[in-house]
Chains A and B, each alone.
Chain A
Amino acid sequence: MDFNWLSWLPLEYRPLCAVLVSMIAAGLIYVLGEHIHRNLREAITLIASVLKIVLVYSLIPAALAGTEVRLELFRIVKGVSFALSVDPAGMVFACVASTLWLLTSIYSIGYMRGHGEKNQTGYFAAFAMCLSSATGLCFASNLLTFFVFYEILTVSTYPLVVHYRDDEGIASGRKYLAYTLISGQIFFAAIVIVYSVSGTTEFTPGGFLDAKMLPAPWALIVFFMMVGAGIVKAGVMPLHSWLPAAMVAPTPVSALLHAVAVVKAGAFCTLRVVLYVFGPELAKSCGGAKALAWMAVFTIIVSSFIAMRKTNLKARLAFSTVGQLSYIVLGICILTPFSTAGALYHIVAHAFMKITLFMVAGAVFVTTHKKDITEMVGIGRRMPFTMGAFALASIGIAGFPFFAGFVSKANIIFGAVEAGQPLYVATLIASALLALAYLMPVVLVSFKKEVENPEFMEFGEADLRMLLPLLMAAILSVLLGIWPNMGLHLFDLSLMAGNSIFQPLM
Chain B
Amino acid sequence: MIENNLPVLIIIVPLCAALLCLLLTGINRHLGRAVVVLAVLASLVMSVMQLGLVIKNGPIHYAIGNYKVPFGIEFVIDSLNAVIIVMISTIGFISAVYADHFVTDRRPLLHGAYNTIIALLITGLLGMASTGDVFNLYVFLEITSLSAYCLIALGGSRGIVSAYRYMLVGTIAATFYLVAAALLYGATGTLNMDDMAKILSSGDYDTVMLLSMCFLIPAFGIKMALFPFHGWQPSAYTHAEAGTRPLITGVMGKLPAYAMFRFFYCIFGTDFRYVRYLMLALGVFSVCSMLYGSLMAMWQNDIRKMLAYSSVAQIGYISLGFAIGTPIALAGSFLHMIGHAFMKGGLFFCTGAIRYKFGTTDLNDFGRIYKKMPLTCGLLTVAALSMIGIPPTAGFFSKWYLASGAADQHYWIYIAVLVISSLLNAVYFFKLIEKVFINEDAGLKDKWSRGPELPLTMLIPIVVCFVAILGIGLFNAKIVDVLLLTLGEVGL
A28 within 8 A of B: no
**A155: which B residues are within 8 A, CB to CB?**
385, 390
The residue of chain B having its C-beta at the shortest distance from the C-beta of A195 within the complex is B404
How far, in angstroms, from A306 to B91 measured CA to CA in the complex? 56
* Complex contact B437–A159 (CB within 8 A): yes
**A74: which B residues are within 8 A, CB to CB?**
474-475, 477
* Complex contact B419–A78 (CB within 8 A): no
B328 within 8 A of A: yes
Tell me the minimal C-beta distance from B471 to chain A in angstroms.
12
**B400: which A residues are within 8 A, CB to CB?**
77, 144, 188, 192
- Our count of residue pairs bridging A and B at CB distance below 8 angstroms stands at 76
A499 within 8 A of B: no
* Complex contact A189–B415 (CB within 8 A): yes
**A78: which B residues are within 8 A, CB to CB?**
328, 331, 401, 477, 480-481, 484
Question: CB within 8 Å of B: which of A74-92?
Answer: 74-78
B486 within 8 A of A: no
A185 within 8 A of B: yes
B422 within 8 A of A: yes
Which of A152, A173, A181 meets B423, CB within 8 Å?
Answer: A181
Interface string of A130-164 (1 = CB under 8 A from B): 00000000000000100110011011000100100
**B434: which A residues are within 8 A, CB to CB?**
162, 170, 173
* Complex contact B477–A76 (CB within 8 A): yes
**B406: which A residues are within 8 A, CB to CB?**
192
Interface string of B359-394 (1 = CB under 8 A from A): 000000000000000000000000001001111100
**B204: which A residues are within 8 A, CB to CB?**
none
Which of A77, A181, A192 meets B415, CB within 8 Å?
Answer: A192
* Complex contact A188–B403 (CB within 8 A): yes
B446 within 8 A of A: no
A196 within 8 A of B: yes
* Complex contact B391–A148 (CB within 8 A): yes
A193 within 8 A of B: yes
**Known contacts A74-B475, A170-B438: does B407 contact A196 (CB below 8 Å)?**
yes
Tell me the minimal C-beta distance from A386 to chain B in angstroms.
33
The residue of chain B having its C-beta at the shortest distance from the C-beta of A169 within the complex is B438
Which of B422, B430, B484 meets A185, CB within 8 Å?
Answer: B422
* Complex contact A192–B328 (CB within 8 A): no
For the complex of A and B, the 7 pairs showing the least CB-CB separation, nearest first, are A196-B407, A75-B477, A148-B391, A192-B403, A185-B419, A165-B438, A151-B390
Tell me the minimal C-beta distance from A193 to chain B in angstroms.
5
How far, in angstroms, from A177 to B328 measured CA to CA in the complex? 30
Q: List 14 A-B contacts (CB under 8 A).
A: A76-B477, A77-B400, A78-B484, A144-B400, A151-B396, A162-B434, A177-B430, A181-B426, A188-B419, A192-B400, A192-B403, A192-B407, A195-B404, A195-B407
Known: A74-B474, A162-B438, A192-B407. 13 other contacts (CB 8 A): A78-B331, A78-B480, A78-B484, A152-B392, A170-B434, A170-B438, A173-B434, A185-B389, A185-B419, A189-B416, A192-B400, A192-B406, A195-B404
* Complex contact A193–B415 (CB within 8 A): yes
**B426: which A residues are within 8 A, CB to CB?**
177, 181
How far, in angstroms, from A193 to B406 measured CA to CA in the complex? 9
**Known contacts A78-B480, A148-B392, A181-B423: does B475 contact A193 (CB below 8 Å)?**
no
* Complex contact B430–A77 (CB within 8 A): no
A186 within 8 A of B: yes
A182 within 8 A of B: yes
B418 within 8 A of A: yes
B397 within 8 A of A: yes
How far, in angstroms, from A173 to B438 measured CA to CA in the complex? 11
Tell me the minimal C-beta distance from B272 to chain A in angstroms.
26
Which of A159, A182, A189 meets B418, CB within 8 Å?
Answer: A189
**B423: which A residues are within 8 A, CB to CB?**
181-182, 185
How far, in angstroms, from A185 to B426 measured CA to CA in the complex? 11
**A169: which B residues are within 8 A, CB to CB?**
438
Tell me the minimal C-beta distance from B80 to chain A in angstroms.
16
B408 within 8 A of A: yes
How far, in angstroms, from A208 to B283 measured CA to CA in the complex? 33
How far, in angstroms, from A177 to B433 measured CA to CA in the complex? 12
Tell me the minimal C-beta distance from B212 to chain A in angstroms.
34
Tell me the minimal C-beta distance from A358 to chain B in angstroms.
24
B476 within 8 A of A: yes
Tell me the minimal C-beta distance from A165 to chain B in angstroms.
5
Which of B404, B437, B478 meets A192, CB within 8 Å?
Answer: B404
**A177: which B residues are within 8 A, CB to CB?**
426, 430
Tell me the minimal C-beta distance from B3 to chain A in angstroms.
30
Question: CB within 8 Å of A: which of B455-487?
Answer: 474-478, 480-481, 484
**B408: which A residues are within 8 A, CB to CB?**
196
* Complex contact A189–B403 (CB within 8 A): yes
Question: CB within 8 Å of B: which of A243-287?
Answer: none
Tell me the minimal C-beta distance from A436 to chain B in angstroms.
41
**A154: which B residues are within 8 A, CB to CB?**
390
How far, in angstroms, from A173 to B430 measured CA to CA in the complex? 10
**B392: which A residues are within 8 A, CB to CB?**
148, 152
Which among B400, B415, B426, B476 has the greatest number of chain A C-beta atoms within 10 A?
Answer: B400
The residue of chain B having its C-beta at the shortest distance from the C-beta of A182 within the complex is B423
The residue of chain B having its C-beta at the shortest distance from the C-beta of A75 within the complex is B477
How far, in angstroms, from A186 to B420 measured CA to CA in the complex? 9
**A148: which B residues are within 8 A, CB to CB?**
391-392
How far, in angstroms, from A162 to B396 measured CA to CA in the complex? 25
**B389: which A residues are within 8 A, CB to CB?**
185, 188
Tell me the minimal C-beta distance from A330 to chain B in angstroms.
29
How far, in angstroms, from A182 to B424 measured CA to CA in the complex? 10
Question: CB within 8 Å of A: which of B416-455?
Answer: 416, 418-419, 422-423, 426, 430, 434, 437-438
Question: CB within 8 Å of B: which of A179-212?
Answer: 181-182, 185-186, 188-189, 192-193, 195-196
Tell me the minimal C-beta distance from B420 to chain A in angstroms.
8
**A77: which B residues are within 8 A, CB to CB?**
397, 400-401, 476-477, 480
Tell me the minimal C-beta distance from A378 to chain B in angstroms.
39
Question: CB within 8 Å of A: which of B281-324?
Answer: none
How far, in angstroms, from A196 to B328 measured CA to CA in the complex? 12
Tell me the minimal C-beta distance from A164 to chain B in angstroms.
10
How far, in angstroms, from A165 to B371 measured CA to CA in the complex? 14
**B480: which A residues are within 8 A, CB to CB?**
77-78
**B475: which A residues are within 8 A, CB to CB?**
74
How far, in angstroms, from A152 to B396 measured CA to CA in the complex? 12
Tell me the minimal C-beta distance from A248 to chain B in angstroms.
13
**B396: which A residues are within 8 A, CB to CB?**
151
Tell me the minimal C-beta distance from B339 to chain A in angstroms.
13
How far, in angstroms, from A162 to B484 measured CA to CA in the complex? 43
The residue of chain A having its C-beta at the shortest distance from the C-beta of B381 within the complex is A155
Tell me the minimal C-beta distance from B412 to chain A in angstroms.
8
Which among B385, B403, B416, B481 has the greatest number of chain A C-beta atoms within 10 A?
Answer: B403
How far, in angstroms, from A152 to B473 measured CA to CA in the complex? 14
How far, in angstroms, from A193 to B438 measured CA to CA in the complex? 37
**Known contacts A77-B397, A155-B385, A185-B423: does B403 contact A147 (CB below 8 Å)?**
no
